[in-house]
Amino acid sequence: MTYESEEPMTATMYSETEALIVPKRNKRGRRSDSAPRRPGVLKFGYWWWALPGILLVIGIHYVATAVGAAFAFTDWTGIGDFQWIGFENFVKIFQNPLMVGALVNTLFLAITSVILVNVIGLGLALALNRLVKTRYALRVLFFMPVVLSPLAVSYIWKFIFDFNGPINTVLTAVGLESWVKPWLADPTLAIWCILVVIVWQQTGFAMVIYMAGLAAVPVEIEEAAAIDGASLWQRFWHVVLPAIRPAVAIATTLGIVNGLRIFDQIMALTSGGPAGATETLATQVYKQAFSLGNFSYGAALALILTLIIAVFAIVQQRVTAANPQES
């Protein structure tokens, strides 16, 4: 009798506890909340914890960029009051041969470095992907310049390009005295020396991106194409390259952005010389805003550089975007 009387009591207590703790379910087996939540509160609950970081990024990056862009239309020197002068700073920029030359140098370094870095990086990635036995050690060696400080690398190359440096010493030793040049002091050669340093340091980064893309290409597809009689170039062009299109997009986008805002290498190697032959928009932004105290003029240069980076990035993404019909 005692057992029979305790069993219904236990069942009753469990049902009452279950009703309080375990949510009820509808006929489909889903939970049916007694008080449905509002969609706005539910969505807000997923990302509210990131709100401080979002506000910090907006305040430091976007608001500061917008304020700096607004100063491009003033005559502010960094101290005191200012007046709105419209597009006068931009007119001065495009009427100044030095600024036009800086713009040309910026585009030259960006476009040329992107082409060379990606071509060489892709070639190294293809060579070190599967065939070479020492590929792991070579990957480390080719990627090592990427992790080094741009200033440290530039000062090493400055010693190499010095008139009494290793390059001219080797040329003199092998009887090629006519090839001895003041590499960084020549207005024609200086920009090419900077390009060599940039390509040498950034190629390893592009190589790693392409190796990650090549790792996703199935070997069976390449073998099937080879069995069908496709040549090495045909396999690369029709099989490998379409498969690594996302890697191409990432590598070229980062290369364009980094190429357009090159600063450390130029300041360490030539400081914009000789005679302004290696000036870029980035170096002129620094000199005008912080060295000469012409803050509004430097802000106008920075705004032009920002717009150029945005245009190049958008165009590049459009060009390298995957075609839905191909996929």
**Could you report the per-residue pLDDT of 234-263, keeping only the tens digit for each?**
888 888 888 899 899 899 989 998 999 899
Helix (H, G, I), strand (E, B) or coil at 84: strand
The ranges assigned to domains in the chain are 88-320
- Is residue 305 a contact partner of residue 260, using CB atoms and an 8 Å limit? yes
Close Cβ partners of 49 (under 8 Å, ≥ 6 residues apart): none
pTM for the structure as a whole: 0.79
Tell me the residue ranges of DSSP E strands in the chain.
Answer: none
Report residue 7's pLDDT band, with 50, 70 and 90 as the boundaries.
very low
Answer yes or no: is pLDDT of 46 > 70: no
So what's the pLDDT on residue 238? 87
Contact status, residue 241 vs residue 217, Cβ threshold 8 Å: no
pLDDT value at 19 more than 70: no
204-218 pLDDT, tens digit each: 999 999 999 998 888
pLDDT-derived band at 301 (thresholds 50, 70, 90) equals: very high
- Name the region of 82 (left: φ>0; alpha: ψ -120 to 50; beta: rest): beta
Percent of the chain with pLDDT over 90: 48
pLDDT over threshold 90, residue 97:
yes
CA angle 259, 264, 267 (to 5 degrees): 115
Could you tell me the CATH superfamily of domain 88-320?
Answer: MetI-like (1.10.3720.10)
CA atoms lying within 13 Å on the CB side of residue 65: 10
Average pLDDT, the chain: 84
Residue whose C-alpha is closest to residue 262's, from 84, 60, 33, 105 = 105
Which one has a higher pLDDT value, 114 or 323?
A: 114
pLDDT score recorded for residue 17: 46
Q: Are the C-beta atoms of 308 and 104 separated by less than 8 Å?
A: no
Give 172's contacts (C-beta < 8 A, 6+ positions apart).
180
pLDDT of residue 5: 46
H helices present in 261-294, as ranges: 264-269, 281-286
Q: Is 31 helix (H, G, I), strand (E, B) or coil?
A: strand
Residue labelled with tokens 């036995």: 133
Cβ within 8 Å of residue 297, ≥6 positions away:
89, 92, 93, 288, 289
Residue 74 has what DSSP assignment? B
